[in-house]
Amino acid sequence: KPVVATDLPPFREICGTGFQDNELFFSVGNQKELEDCILKSLGHAFNPQKVSDIRHRFSAETMSVQYQNYYTELSAPLK
């Protein structure tokens, strides 16, 4: 399903990684842009490879490995 989202960095991180076009983001408080985005989303189609890439990037397994690496890096002795 297409995501219609406020144009904020956290939403762009997930949705704006080539997964969908920028046309489905709207400015905070801009009702007209929101309406336009909703209408555009009705005929929106995704590239199956991009969907697969996003599912992998944000899977529980991938996120777990990233957190483990981050915590390992934080616990390493300072040089």
- pTM exceeds cut of 0.85: no
pLDDT mean across residues, the chain: 84
pLDDT of residue 29: 94
Phi, psi of 52, rounded to the nearest 5 degrees: -60, -45
Angle at 55 between CA 35 and CA 47, to 5 degrees: 60
Give tens-digit pLDDT for 23-48.
Answer: 788 999 999 999 999 998 888 777 78
Asked whether residue 16 carries a pLDDT value surpassing 70, the answer given is no
The dihedral over CA atoms of 5, 3, 37, 28, expressed in degrees to the nearest 10, equals: 0
Where residue 76 falls among pLDDT bands split at 50, 70, 90? Answer: confident
Sign for the CA dihedral angle at 3, 4, 7, 10 comes to: negative
SS3 1: coil
Taking alpha carbons only, the member of 2, 50, 9 closest to residue 23 is: 2
